């Protein structure tokens, strides 16, 4: 036993057992103590070598020197285990190809975004020139020129003016049954006499966006499908209410057909919804 070991390893006077002070471990016999003194753990401790933690939590990554410490930590750890999967050469190549595809996609997305923004600016300028701008009607009378300025405020999307659409017009739409929704939307959003309701447009059929007028009298970009869904549902609610109030004014045959249409619409028949939304989408795209 080395000198340092002799100083630190002694007989515990209380229990009369060999005892290793640096490790804090008692032994039954001197032979067990001698065996312990040769182990790496003891020599590392004597030479003040800090051993790296060998027990790691597979959820949060924290490391511990003792298994019991790790066990106690796991009882309180709330992190989800992270699955570590070794990548094969094929997976590495595949990952590299996916990363390259992501870069290409991101570049194309940025280009499409810029193109869309440019298209939006052009459309907004046209709308402003046509509706929100100033229309000058010059009338010459006895060499005097009078200028009339007309400013049209476009209604926010979802707050359209429908006062001019009477029950007779709505019943006419109901009589078209499966074409009733597109027919009513055409009267609401695309009536040439009511440009204040021209509050939605689709400028690029390849992009999943639509532009609608906001409450602040500014155009904003929204999800195209959501906008079409809103138009379809709002118009159906109008038709449904008027049908309940005025069904006695509709021929029995038409009533039966419209009830069949309502049944399919209420259960969200896929074929019907696809057909209606496609027609409305095309209507908005064409600005009809």
DSSP string over 75-131:
HH--SPPPP--PPPHHHHHHHHHHHHHHHHHHHHHHHHHHHHHHHHHHHHHHHIIII
* 38: DSSP letter: T
The answer on 9 and 62 residing in a single domain is no
- Residue 108 counted as domain residue: no
User: Is 172 in the same domain as 270?
Assistant: yes
Percentage above 90 pLDDT, the chain: 44
Distance from C-alpha of 171 to C-alpha of 54, rounded to nearest angstrom: 80
Domain-embedded: residue 71:
yes
User: Is the same domain home to 142 and 264?
Assistant: yes
Judge if 59 and 156 occupy the same domain: no
Q: Quick one: 167 and 288 in the same domain?
A: yes
Q: Looking at the structure, do residues 35 and 68 belong to the same domain, yes or no?
A: no
Say whether both 269 and 235 belong to one domain.
yes
Last-in-domain residue among 37, 62, 80: 80
Does 91 reside within a domain?
no
Contact 184, 238 (CB under 8 A): yes
Residue 117 scores a pLDDT above 90: no
287, 201 contact by CB (below 8 A)? yes
- Give me the count of residues in the chain: 288
* pLDDT one-digit tens code per residue, 173-195: 999 999 999 999 999 999 999 99
Q: Residue 97 falls within a domain, yes or no?
A: no
107-119 average pLDDT score? 81
In a domain, 179, yes or no: yes
Whether the per-residue pLDDT at 212 is higher than 60: the answer is yes
Same domain, 288 and 171: yes
Domain boundaries, position 231: 115-288
pLDDT band at 1 (very low <50, low <70, confident <90, very high): very low
CA 263 to chain CA centroid, Å, is 31
Structural domains in the chain (count): 3
Is 146 among the domain residues? yes
CA–CA distances in Å: residue 165 to residues 153, 173, 284: 19, 11, 20
Q: CA dist 129 to 23, 125, 136, 151, Å?
A: 88, 6, 11, 11
pTM: 0.50
Span 259-287, pLDDT tens digits:
999 999 999 999 999 999 999 999 999 98
Question: Residue 126 domain-assigned?
Answer: yes
- Residue 80, pLDDT score: 67
**pLDDT value of residue 187:** 96
Q: Do residue 278 and residue 174 come from a single domain?
A: yes
CA 228 to chain centre: 18
Extract the tokens encoding 128.
């402003």
One domain, residues 16 and 147: no
Q: Render pLDDT for 68-106 as a digit per residue (tens, 0 to 9).
A: 777 777 777 767 665 555 567 777 788 888 888 888 878
Residue 233 covered by a domain: yes
Whether residues 283 and 200 share a domain: the answer is yes
d(Cα 251, Cα 261) in Å, to the nearest integer?
Answer: 15
At 118-144, the pLDDT tens digits run: 777 777 777 766 655 444 444 444 444
| pLDDT category of residue 245 using cuts at 50, 70 and 90 | very high
For residue 164, the model assigns a pLDDT of: 95
Regarding whether 125 and 35 lie in a shared domain, the answer is: no
């Amino acid at each position: 036993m080395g000198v340092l070991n002799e100083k630190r390893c002694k007989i515990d006077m209380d229990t009369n057992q060999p005892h290793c002070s640096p490790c804090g471990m008692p032994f039954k016999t001197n032979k067990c103590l001698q065996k312990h003194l040769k182990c790496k753990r003891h020599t590392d401790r004597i030479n003040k070598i800090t051993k790296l933690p060998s027990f790691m939590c597979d959820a949060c990554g924290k490391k511990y020197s003792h298994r019991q410490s790790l066990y106690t930590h796991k009882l309180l750890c709330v992190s989800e285990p992270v699955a570590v999967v070794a990548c094969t050469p094929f997976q590495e190549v595949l990952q590299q190809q996916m990363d390259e595809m992501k870069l290409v996609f991101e570049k194309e997305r940025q280009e499409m975004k810029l193109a869309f923004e440019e298209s939006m600016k052009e459309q907004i300028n046209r709308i402003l020139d046509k509706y929100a701008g100033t229309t000058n009607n010059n009338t010459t009378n006895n060499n005097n020129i009078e200028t009339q300025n007309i400013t049209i405020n476009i209604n926010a999307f979802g707050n359209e003016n429908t006062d001019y659409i009477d029950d007779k017009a709505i019943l006419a739409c109901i009589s078209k049954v499966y074409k009733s929704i597109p027919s009513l939307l055409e009267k609401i959003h695309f009536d040439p006499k009511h440009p204040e309701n021209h509050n939605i447009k689709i400028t690029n059929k390849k992009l999943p966006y639509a532009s609608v007028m906001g409450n602040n009298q500014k155009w904003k970009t929204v999800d195209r499908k959501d906008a079409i869904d809103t138009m379809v549902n709002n118009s159906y609610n109008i038709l449904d209410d008027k049908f309940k109030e005025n069904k006695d004014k509709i021929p029995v045959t038409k009533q039966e057909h419209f009830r069949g249409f309502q049944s399919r619409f209420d259960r969200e028949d896929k074929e019907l919804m696809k057909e209606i939304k496609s027609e409305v989408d095309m209507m908005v795209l064409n600005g009809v």
